[in-house]
Amino acid sequence: MDTDVVVVGAGPVGLLLAAELSLAGVRPIVLERRAGPNETPKARGIGVLAAEALRRRGLGDQLDREHEKGLAALERDHGTTKTHFAWIHKVDPEAADPGRHGALIAQPALEQVLRRHLADLGVEVHHGFTVTGWEQSPTEVTLTVQTPKGERRLSAGYVVGCDGGHSTIRKLAGFGFPGTPPLMTVRYAKAEVAGRDLLPAPGRLAGGTLFHDGDMIATFDFTDDVPDRDAPLSAEELRDSVRRVASVDVAITAFQGGLRFTDQARQADTYRQGRTLLAGDAAHVHSPNGGQGLNLGLMDAMNLGWKLAATVRGQVSLLDSYTDERHPVGAAVLHNTRAQSALLRPGPHVDALRDIVSDLMDLPEVNRHLSRLLSGTAHRYPLPYSADHPLTGSHCPPLIVNHTTPLADLARSGRPLLLHPAADAIDTGGRVDQVTTASLDHADLAAVLLRPDGVIAWAAAPGEALDPPSLRQALDTWFAA
């Protein structure tokens, strides 16, 4: 066998997964078909959970620097820094979870941060390496790879497809990918429009939604079939779409290229088949509405990294919990993006529905609900042991430990962490880092056991027993000796 783990794809998810594996002591081989970094402007930020995860790895300063620029750009483009549900910009993330915030960092900048992080951990990305073949036996996976020096075969204990929505690994391994076909096609381009004054004001129109500002033009087109997805967007195709959506014919000039994507919503039926796993867009595709895809994929990587590393070391039973925990989270995102697509359909009936939804969003409880729906902060993984504390199974909020130390400063190593008033008295057999705490700066937490992905595996509220059987069960479930 050439290596324990191959990560296919060095998008944001593959980069973070490789870093998490490396922190947990498994150095993966990372294969990326592109010759260099991807500069395509896709996501403009990451949600609360992914931002907190990266802050726990020491990347907070870099996120914060980009966040300032991102806030200014959001304010400029939408006249508000609130996020949107179905392009109704009223969702206030700060109101739902005070003190918890995402990071408005453009995807190319985020990938640069992650590439540096991975390089600092000593892991190289093999650019120009395209996986074209896959075989799996009970003991290994063998990949066929086109490299700059010709075809090569590579065998590994495990392979993770982080190779995006068109995932080669998913297709070759025959994962089911059920879901719903597109309602709309989005086309986005940098281009000039001859006769711009012919265009109606940006907004909802008979055939969909039109956006235009400066040298940007975009259509949400509900009136055509999905074109050849492999062909790049052309000026002519964009012009046809503008005609269908806005009922005007304008010439597109100075076309600088663009993106085409749909709102089809599909999810792999399992994230693991034997020694082959999927993460990120390879496991789930949906519309970018509400800005959730990157957050979802990065949290797949956080969930999988330490579990796969433990599996390589022999703790095999952990791996099934990856699908068990992450599949429902992905399904929930697909669900709310379908609702957003429905709310974007053109026509007076949906106009009326949007007005009502918009009014409802002014109610604080509705606003908080939507915010948590988009951020995923309310989600709790079901744990395979009795854990009564209401925060167990959820991602830990940022704590200030002993009045001065941010949790993020204690979690950089990626090791499990026990924060406990009598940490020295708890025998964990060296399986977790232990910090004696006088305060966690959280009304409901007196002690907490964190998994490497930041999930609360066990917690005690003030006044509760601090060394109950559930703490032992949590330690033995997640961190076998």
Ligand X SMILES: Cc1cc2nc3c(=O)[nH]c(=O)nc-3n(C[C@H](O)[C@H](O)[C@H](O)COP(=O)(O)OP(=O)(O)OC[C@H]3O[C@@H](n4cnc5c(N)ncnc54)[C@H](O)[C@@H]3O)c2cc1C
Binding site for ligand X (CB under 6 A): 8-14, 31-34, 38, 42-44, 107, 130-131, 162-164, 168, 259, 261, 280-281, 288, 291-295, 297
Q: Which amino acid would we find at residue 37?
A: P
**Min separation Cβ 441 and ligand X, Å:** 29
Hunting for tokens 């749909």 — which residue is that?
262
Residue 259: strand pairing partners: 188
Cα 377-116-292 angle, rounded to 5 deg: 25
Q: Which residues are paired to 267 by β-bridges? A: 284
Which C-beta is closer to ligand X: that of 258 or that of 416? Answer: 258
Closer to ligand X by Cβ: residue 263 or 325: 263
Q: How far is the CB of 391 from ligand X (least distance, A)?
A: 25
Least distance from C-beta 452 to ligand X, angstroms? 20
Contacts of 341 (CB under 8 A, 6+ apart): 86, 183, 184, 263, 287, 289
| CB closer to ligand X out of 53 and 294 | 294
Q: What is the 3-state secondary structure (H, E, C) of 408-419?
A: HHHCCCCCCEEE
Which CB atom, from 12 or from 454, has the smaller least distance to ligand X? Answer: 12
Cα–Cα distance, 451 to 415 (Å, whole number): 8
Token representation of residue 26: 């498994």
Burial of 208 (0-12, 13-18, 19+ CB in 10 A): buried
In the complex, least distance from residue 267 CB atom to ligand X, rounded to whole angstroms: 13
What type of residue is 150?
G
Q: How far is the CB of 114 from ligand X (least distance, A)?
A: 10
Q: Which is nearer to ligand X, 38 or 234 (CB)?
A: 38
Cα–Cα distance for residue pair 261/207, rounded to 1 Å: 17
- Angstrom distances, CA of residue 233 to CA of 20, 153, 228, 241: 36, 35, 10, 11
Contact indicator for 364, 352 with CB cutoff of 8 Å:
no
**Minimum CB distance to ligand X smaller for 234 or for 315:** 234
Cα 20 versus chain centre, distance: 15
Cβ 271 to ligand X shortest distance, Å:
12
Q: Give the Cα separation of 25 and 40 in Å (integer).
A: 32
Q: Would you say 4 or 263 has its CB closer to ligand X?
A: 263
Burial class (CB in 10 A: 0-12, 13-18, 19+), 275: buried
- Minimum CB distance to ligand X smaller for 237 or for 420: 237
Residue 178 tokens, joined: 């059920």
CB of 201 to ligand X, least distance (A): 23
Residue 13: count other Cβ atoms within 10 Å of its Cβ: 32
Q: What does DSSP assign to residue 232?
A: P
Within the chain, how many helices (H) and strands (E) appear? 13, 26
Beta-ladder partners of 471: none
Q: Residue 357 CB, nearest distance to ligand X (Å)? A: 20
CA distance 367 to 88: 11
Give the nearer residue to ligand X in terms of CB position, either 334 or 474. Answer: 334
Residue 297 CB, nearest approach to ligand X (Å): 4
- Nearer of residues 106 and 399 to ligand X, judged by Cβ: 106
Q: Which is nearer to ligand X, 26 or 282 (CB)?
A: 282
> Contact 412/370 with Cβ under 8 angstroms?
no
Closest to ligand X by CB, 292 vs 311, is: 292
- Nearest to ligand X by Cβ — which residue? 11
As measured in angstroms, the least distance from the Cβ of 11 to ligand X is: 2
Residue 299 CB, shortest distance to ligand X, in Å, is 11
In whole angstroms, how close is the CB of 20 to ligand X at the nearest point?
13
Which long-range CB contacts under 8 A does 350-357 form with residues at least 24 apart?
351/204, 354/86, 354/88, 357/85, 357/86, 357/88
Question: 88: helix, coil or strand?
Answer: strand
Q: How many CB atoms lie within 10 A of CB 342?
A: 13
